[in-house]
Amino acid sequence: MKIALLALQGDFEEHAAVFRRLGCQTLFLRQARHLLEPFEGIILPGGESTVQGKLLRELNMMEPLRKMILDGKPVMATCAGTILLAKQLLDDPTRHLATLDIAVRRNAYGRQLSSFHIRGTFDDISNVPMSFIRAPQIEFCAPNTQVVAEHHGRITAVRHANQLAMTFHPELDGNTQIAEYFIEKICSR
Ligand code: GLN
């Protein structure tokens, strides 16, 4: 299986290492022409959503990527990637890919709690390590969207058809369970 990683900014290398450990081939998406290559799933990594969005527009990658996701290509987004997928950003008129019916607040945990680490349940998997780094919060998701993880009543991961989005980083803890979930439940569905 070949997994493509948006590789404009952020921690795409860490995601690539996880998928390689699982035996996947990886492809870095750095230019629009890379979107024409064959692959089975896309990773939108954490980083800085404003920078990623700006580069996607400048490189003419926003619309083809958006169309690909709307056409059903499996996508897994973490942190800034989830901000790219959101149809609505609270207190912010910006929209990026806007393919997933969620409303997200950037940097929602404030300065005091800007980074923290927990172990939590993700769908049917328990004790998953989750690192939150200046994380957004999913404050609303459409009724047809499945909540797959929560922390203290806050939604931390959702799934809708071919789209899986989370507000934490699963790739920073040497744990492959979320990547395996993506391959098994989203790419192979
Ligand atoms: N705060 C970042 C943003 O708004 C996201 C942080 C992250 O990806 N760890 O884009």
pLDDT at 50: 97
- The reported pLDDT for the residue numbered 175 is 92
User: Does 141 qualify as catalytic in the annotation?
Assistant: no
- Token pair 């942190």 is at which residue? 79
Which candidate in 24, 96, 171, 187 is catalytic? Answer: 171
pLDDT of 102 higher than 90: yes
Instruction: Provide the β-strand partners of residue 169.
Output: 131
Q: What mean pLDDT comes out for the span 160-169?
A: 98
Structure tokens at 105: 């607040």
Quick check: helix, strand or coil at residue 23?
coil
- Chain centroid to Cα 99, Å, comes to 12
Instruction: Give the Å distances, CA to CA, from 42 to 120, 127, 152.
Output: 24, 25, 29
- As a whole number, the mean pLDDT across the chain is 96
Ligand 1: which atom is nearest the Cα of residue 79? 8
Share of the chain above pLDDT 70, in %: 98
- What is the residue with the minimal CA distance to atom 1 of ligand 1? 134
Asked whether the predicted pLDDT for residue 112 surpasses 70, the reply is no
Q: Once rounded to an integer, what is the mean pLDDT over residues 57-82?
A: 98
Ligand 1 atom 9: residue of nearest CA = 133
Please give the torsion angle defined by the CA atoms of residues 30, 177, 66 and 149, in that order, rounded to the nearest 10 degrees. Answer: -140
User: Which one-letter amino acid corresponds to residue 108?
Assistant: A
Q: Does the pLDDT value for residue 86 go beyond 80?
A: yes
At 157 the pLDDT is 98
